[in-house]
Structure 1
Amino acid sequence: MNSGLGHDEDETGNAVLREVWQLLRELRIMELLAEYHPRLAGTVPLGIQVEGSDLDIICEVQDPKRFIEAARYHFGQLEGFYAVTRTVRDMVRTKINFRTGGWPIELFGQPLATEKQNAWLHMQVERRVLKLLGPGFAENIRSLKSGGMKTEPAFAKLLKLEGDPYEEMLSLGRLNSEEFHAVCRRAQRYI
């Protein structure tokens, strides 16, 4: 089964990630939504989830109505099933939420390849930062998130990034390796 992660990732991870992949296998979610190229994104694959974190599954969706119909057919019986489509900054976005196995799940779709969606790009940058700055930094992120802060603002705060945290994290991902390391080293002095 394609895990929906990347070529350098797998389903082994920590105990929580293994539990999540077991749940996703039981739901057959990646298989049933395969035509939408689903990928698990967000805090769980990074190991920085906190109480109340959801499972974010991003999808490439060209036809929101058909996507909602497919999700309703497969998951509509699950607790709290809810679907909405909105246009934000000229992009149609579909969110489908439900709960199962003790986890809130959010399917997020837009007409963009999953590996080009901001959720995926943010996660790749965050993974690089966590790898470079280590467990202490991850614990500081979890602490901020436990206090109610969203993931990208927490990273931006600790990295001393100015401006819109979502845009700044994307910009960080476009830096060359030397520039990226310089930003992380500068932040490390304040942690």
Structure 2
Amino acid sequence: MIDFTNIEYLKAGNKKQKRAYEVLRKYKVFEKLKPYAPVLAGTIPIGIDIESSDLDIICEVDLRFEEDFLDDIALGRLIPGDTDVKVENIIVHGEKSIVLNFMLDEFPIEIFGQNKPSTEQNAYRHMLAEYRILQEKGEDFKHKIIELKNQGIKTEPAFGLLMGLENPYEDLLKF
């Protein structure tokens, strides 16, 4: 299985994965976020992205020190000074979270932080389950997922539709 905690796998991927790797390296995103155990999650790592897909980077952030995290990102020049950044504090499954959205070159970037290890966050766990399912079900299934996503259906619900899952966000965590 791919080690999704290290972005080196992107170098051997499809065209978009290779380009994502170049952009992440160019801006030293993972080096600058290293204290927060960043992991690239979502659809691009597992090859089911569509045109509008973003680079989802999940991080472990002690939200009691949210300002330090934001300063590290700004002062560490992860985000170029002229970049428009949207910052939101949200609650996801009862857990306080922080979300930053901005652009780096042609990629929309979303940095998502919760006060739990990155590899224990649902985004990472969903991605692993989806990857395993894609490996098991093959290319035809993968193309059906992408087709549903192109119709505006989010990733987990797309898996839910094709697999008959009642609550895909919860059910995928069981895989």
TM-score normalised by L of structure 1? 0.82
Amino acid at match of 1:69: D
1-structure distance, mates of 2:81, 2:133: 39
In structure 1, what is the equivalent of residue 169 of structure 2?
Answer: 166
CA positional deviation for 1:89: 4.0
Evaluate the alpha carbon distance shift between residue 155 and residue 131 of structure 1 in structure 2; reply closer, same or farther with a 3 A threshold: same
Q: What is the aligned counterpart of 2:91 among 82, 87, 90?
A: 87
Q: 1:67-146 counterparts in 2 under 5 A? A: 67-73=69-75, 74=77, 75=79, 77-146=81-150
Amino acid at match of 1:158: L
In structure 2, what is the equivalent of residue 21 of structure 1?
Answer: 21
CA positional deviation for 1:10: 1.7
- Whether contact under 8 Å (1:41, 1:56) holds in the other structure is yes
- Whether contact under 8 Å (2:57, 2:109) holds in the other structure is yes
Larger radius of gyration: 1
Question: Which consecutive segments of 4 or more residues in structure 1 shift more than 4 A?
Answer: none
- Whether contact under 8 Å (1:93, 1:108) holds in the other structure is yes
Query: After the TM superposition, which of the residue ranges 77-86 and 146-155 deviates more from structure 2?
Result: 77-86
* CA deviation map 1:148-187 (0-9, x unaligned): 010000001101111x22011112x2xxxxxxxxxxxxxx
CA positional deviation for 1:34: 0.2
Q: What is the aligned counterpart of 2:151 among 147, 151, 160?
A: 147
CA positional deviation for 1:80: 2.6
What stretches of structure 2 of length at least 5 have no aligned partner? Answer: none
Give RMSD over aligned pairs: 1.8
Secondary structure at the residue paired with 1:51?
coil
Amino acid at match of 1:101: D
Considering Cα pairs closer than 8 Å and 6+ residues apart, tell me whether 1 or 2 has the greater RCO. 2
2-structure distance, mates of 1:22, 1:78: 21
2-structure distance, mates of 1:145, 1:22: 25
- Whether contact under 8 Å (2:30, 2:38) holds in the other structure is yes
Query: After the TM superposition, which of the residue ranges 72-81 and 91-100 deviates more from structure 2?
Result: 72-81
Amino acid at match of 2:170: E
Taking only the aligned residue pairs, the percentage that are identical comes to: 38
Secondary structure at the residue paired with 2:51?
coil
